[in-house]
């Protein structure tokens, strides 16, 4: 099923995944219009898409997803919404009210506006972190959508994404203003890597400061399966195609899907080394401290930051929750997405790794210059 002639809205369109999805829509589908919705859209984004634009209209909508009037203008006449925009906060540096306001209230308002403006399909970009790992660090190996797990979430980001996902799936089947019905689904990608990944860039910067030795914050046996950004974009396109198909619509509406690919399971720290070793980086052989003492250090840092928070908000560089995430085996299969959505990774592991390393290589000279100038 094609999206030809459709009007698609992409929230977070200028972000890491959003830009990749917009380009894929232009390359693969002859949509009538793509509306790039974000708080701020860089002018060069449109210029970078000229080579694949074709006859598709690209429209910029700059505003806040908590603004109902803005959303009504952006969604009027649209058929499909890809809701990617959210605040990603892994250090607890953002006030909870702001995180909740954007991630939960913004999603709810977007759903309500979709119903008012007769949007037919709504794809929500969730995250594997709505599943965990829980505070006890219980592992999952090759998990699926049917895996039973005690998802005791303490981390604000995971909690707000989980509530937003729940609200999205509960909205499936809601009656639209014109009498039709809204179909929704949620995609739960693993840790997303690729060209433009700010987390990889941050790890590379730390490595440069440490004389080209990458820091180790996860033990080698804590396996995860990162997913390439191009494959996540492909999964979104397949979800939209499936929701448009009358036969598949009833099957996938109201459901969530884990999105991974054929990237080999590896720890977070060792993954950084895999993509950066061709650039001359090595990695610490073991954690700087035994894991138990690492937790104690994180506890002390969290306590100090909490005590001074009434005067100044400082986020600890590492928390116990993040340390648990980094040191828990947590891998998931994409087989259900393959079965229901027809999702098949567009890029092999070899190509994804090559593209990612080449992008990091292109950033390396300027990052070294920045370090020398300090």
C-alpha to C-alpha distance for 217 and 283, rounded to whole angstroms = 10
Distance of CA 266 to the CA centre of its chain: 19
Alpha helix positions (H), 253-348? 268-276, 291-308, 320-326, 335-341
Neighbours of 57 (CB within 10 A): 11
Q: What is the pLDDT of residue 31?
A: 86
Query: Diameter of the chain by CA atoms?
Result: 63
Report all structural domains of the chain as residue ranges with CATH numbers, in order of start: 7-197+227-263+330-348 (3.40.50.720)
* Helices 156-170 & 106-116 angle (0-180, nearest 10): 20
Active site residues: 157
| H or E stretch at 350 | helix 349-373
How far is Cα 234 from Cα 237, in angstroms, rounded to an integer?
Answer: 5
CA–CA separation, 262 and 284 (whole Å): 26
Nearest to 200 by CA among 128, 281, 125, 127: 281
Specify which residues 283 forms β-bridges with. 214
pLDDT the model gives residue 57: 87
Residue 306: other Cβ atoms inside 10 A: 11
| Alpha-carbon separation of residue 130 from 16, 118, 163 (angstroms) | 20, 28, 9
Strand partners, 34: 8, 58
Q: Which two tokens stand for residue 300?
A: 């002390």
Q: Show pLDDT as tens, one digit a residue, over the chain (374 residues).
A: 788 889 999 999 999 999 999 999 998 888 889 999 998 887 778 777 877 777 888 889 999 999 999 999 999 999 999 999 999 887 777 888 999 999 999 999 999 999 999 999 999 999 999 998 998 899 999 999 999 998 877 788 889 999 999 999 999 999 999 999 999 999 999 999 999 999 999 999 999 999 999 999 999 999 999 999 999 999 999 999 999 998 899 999 999 999 999 999 999 999 999 999 999 999 999 998 898 998 999 899 889 988 888 888 888 888 888 899 999 999 999 999 999 999 999 999 999 999 999 999 999 999 988 887 76
pTM of the entire structure?
0.95
Residue 369 burial (CB count, 10 A): 9
Which residues, in sequence order, are bridge partners of residue 122? Answer: 81, 184
Q: Which of 57, 160, 170, 69 is nearest to 122 (CA)?
A: 170
- Strands of the 121-125 sheet, one edge to the other: 57-62, 33-38, 7-11, 80-83, 121-125, 183-189, 255-259
CA distances from 234 to 271, 283, 317 (A): 22, 32, 33
Q: Considering only CA atoms, which of 34, 37, 95, 97 is closest in space to residue 65?
A: 37
First to last CA, the chain: 54
- Nearest by Cα to 126 from 150, 159, 162: 162
């Amino acid at each position: 099923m094609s999206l030809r002639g459709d009007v698609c809205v992409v929230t977070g369109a200028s972000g890491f995944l959003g830009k990749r999805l917009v380009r894929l829509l232009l390359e693969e589908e002859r949509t009538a219009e793509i509306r790039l919705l974000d708080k701020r859209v860089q002018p060069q984004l449109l210029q970078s898409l000229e080579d694949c634009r074709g006859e598709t209209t690209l429209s910029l909508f700059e505003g806040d997803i908590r603004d109902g009037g803005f959303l009504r203008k952006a969604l009027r006449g649209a058929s499909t919404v890809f809701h990617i925009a959210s605040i990603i906060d892994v250090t607890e540096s953002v006030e909870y009210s702001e995180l909740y306001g954007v991630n939960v209230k913004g999603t709810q308002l977007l759903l309500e506006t979709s119903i008012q403006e007769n949007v037919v399909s709504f794809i929500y970009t969730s995250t594997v972190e709505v599943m965990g790992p829980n505070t006890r660090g219980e592992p999952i190996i090759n998990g699926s959508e049917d895996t039973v797990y005690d998802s005791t979430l303490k981390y604000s980001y995971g909690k707000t994404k989980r509530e937003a996902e729940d609200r999205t799936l509960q909205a499936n089947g809601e009656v639209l203003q014109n009498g039709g019905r809204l179909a929704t689904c949620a995609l739960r990608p693993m840790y997303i890597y690729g060209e433009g990944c700010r987390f990889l860039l941050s790890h590379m910067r730390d490595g440069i400061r440490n004389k080209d030795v990458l820091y180790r914050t996860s033990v080698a046996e804590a396996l995860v399966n990162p997913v390439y950004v191009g494959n996540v974009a492909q999964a979104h396109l397949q979800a939209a195609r499936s929701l448009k198909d009358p036969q598949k619509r009833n099957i996938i509406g109201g459901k969530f899907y884990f999105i991974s690919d054929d990237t080999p399971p590896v720890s977070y720290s060792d993954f950084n080394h895999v993509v950066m070793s061709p650039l001359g980086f090595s990695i610490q052989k073991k954690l700087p401290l035994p894991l138990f003492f690492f937790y104690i250090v994180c506890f002390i840092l969290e306590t100090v930051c909490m005590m001074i928070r009434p005067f100044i908000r400082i986020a600890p560089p590492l928390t116990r929750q993040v340390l648990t995430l980094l040191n828990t085996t947590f891998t998931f299969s994409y087989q259900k997405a393959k079965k229901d959505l027809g999702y098949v990774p567009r890029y092999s592991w070899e190509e994804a790794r090559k593209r990612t390393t080449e992008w990091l290589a292109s950033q390396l000279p300027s990052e070294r210059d920045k370090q020398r100038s300090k």
